[in-house]
């Protein structure tokens, strides 16, 4: 695994001399672009329960409906940190963007909601149906994996690229038969449609990871902020695990779900601030899919060297046990 540049290494060495929890005279201002969904639960709790503040951070949060939008905002200079899935990370790595993967924060399944009128009882019943997905996100990879698991290809269905918030209106209008996305959009749609919709059993098809990403120049120049940010996330993870009922209440309120709805699917979420084989495998799987489907930038013909975008040092300095993937 590659080392940080000498400049980045020097910056990190200097800033890590400070205790992550030590209070500054003035809070350090930073910006977070997050997908406002339970998959960002660790970041949501860190903000709402004051863990960022206790680390001396003043975090301005911008909410989006996909991790792709969040990462695009960071790349465009509109935020410093993003919560995002492996799909946008892989796309950015293939495009040569100077991103820095700092930690995974969650893993959960993408889901399929169908209209009862569509008569979709099994995965094979998706043949001939109109399926909405969100291009450039884990929803797209999930959709392709779902079709593959049913012995289908994209030629067997009609794919419709929609943002998550556009899917329920399309399903209600009858312009699609099913959609593939993440919570809370599935639960919200099921609540709105009642027995006119059903969640298809797709357990195990594809587990999306959610992660924290910054740009490499930001990491090199703001090591202290990064350390404090990750420390707050680790505190939030501990609080979630110690107080699952209260955590579900906090996250549900933030994302616009009823607490009982989130608690019903609470086991879907694996909140952990870490870098391990789960994150690396998800990145490689997505990259391989992009190559196989030819959905990649011109001139790219191999899986990226993710050692050039994964920066484990900040997390390792806080808790080495949280970094478990093999490093050369």
- Residue with the bigger pLDDT between 290 and 262: it is 262
Kindly indicate the confidence band of residue 300, based on its pLDDT and cuts at 50, 70 and 90. confident
**Number of other CB atoms surrounding residue 157 within 10 Å:** 20
Domains and CATH numbers, the chain: 6-108+208-322 (3.40.190.10), 111-200 (3.40.190.10)
Measured CA to CA, the distance from residue 309 to residue 10 in angstroms comes to: 18
Q: Which residues contact 115 (CB under 8 A, 6 or more apart)?
A: 171, 174, 176, 177, 178, 193, 196, 197
pLDDT digits (tens, 9 = 90+) for 23-47: 446 999 999 999 999 999 999 999 9
This prediction's pTM: 0.81
Tens digit of each residue's pLDDT (9 = 90 or more) over 144-188: 989 999 999 999 999 999 999 999 999 999 999 999 998 888 988
Q: How far is CA 13 from the centre of its chain?
A: 29
Residue 43, helix vs strand vs coil: helix
SS3 252: helix
Sequence-distant (6+) residues with CB within 8 A of 25 are none
Q: How far apart are CA 281 and CA 108, in angstroms?
A: 14
- Looking at residues 57-78, what average pLDDT do you find? 97
Buried b (16+ CB within 10 A) or exposed e, 100-132: bbbbbbbbbbbbbbbbeebebeebebbeebbbb
């Amino acid at each position: 695994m590659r080392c940080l540049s000498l400049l980045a290494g020097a910056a990190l060495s200097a800033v890590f001399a400070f205790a992550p929890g030590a209070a500054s005279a003035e809070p350090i201002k930073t910006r977070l672009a997050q997908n406002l969904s339970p998959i960002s639960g660790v970041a949501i709790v860190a903000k709402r329960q004051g863990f960022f503040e206790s680390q001396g951070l003043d975090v301005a949060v911008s909410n989006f409906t996909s991790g792709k939008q969040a990462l695009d905002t960071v790349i465009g200079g509109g935020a410093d940190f993003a919560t995002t899935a492996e799909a946008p990370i892989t796309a950015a790595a293939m495009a040569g963007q100077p991103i820095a993967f700092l930690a995974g924060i969650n893993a959960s399944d993408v889901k399929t909601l169908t209209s009862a009128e569509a008569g979709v009882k099994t995965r094979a019943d998706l043949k001939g149906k109109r399926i909405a997905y969100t291009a450039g996100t884990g929803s797209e990879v999930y959709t392709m994996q779902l079709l593959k698991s049913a012995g289908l290809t994209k030629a067997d269905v009609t794919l419709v690229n929609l943002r998550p918030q556009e899917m329920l209106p399309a399903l209600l209008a009858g312009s699609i038969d099913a959609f593939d996305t993440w919570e809370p959009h599935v639960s919200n749609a099921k609540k709105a449609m009642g027995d006119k919709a059903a969640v298809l059993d797709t357990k195990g098809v594809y587990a999306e990871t959610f992660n924290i990403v910054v740009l490499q120049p930001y990491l090199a120049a703001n090591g202290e902020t990064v350390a404090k940010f990750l420390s707050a996330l680790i505190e939030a993870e501990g609080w979630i695990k110690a107080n699952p009922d209260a955590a579900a209440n906090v996250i549900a309120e933030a994302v616009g779900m009823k607490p009982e709805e989130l608690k019903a699917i609470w086991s879907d979420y694996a909140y952990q601030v870490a870098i391990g084989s789960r994150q690396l495998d998800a990145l490689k799987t997505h990259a391989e899919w992009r190559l196989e489907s030819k959905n990649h930038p011109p001139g790219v013909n191999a899986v990226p060297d993710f050692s050039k975008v994964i920066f484990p040092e900040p997390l390792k300095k806080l808790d080495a046990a949280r970094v478990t993937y093999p490093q050369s």
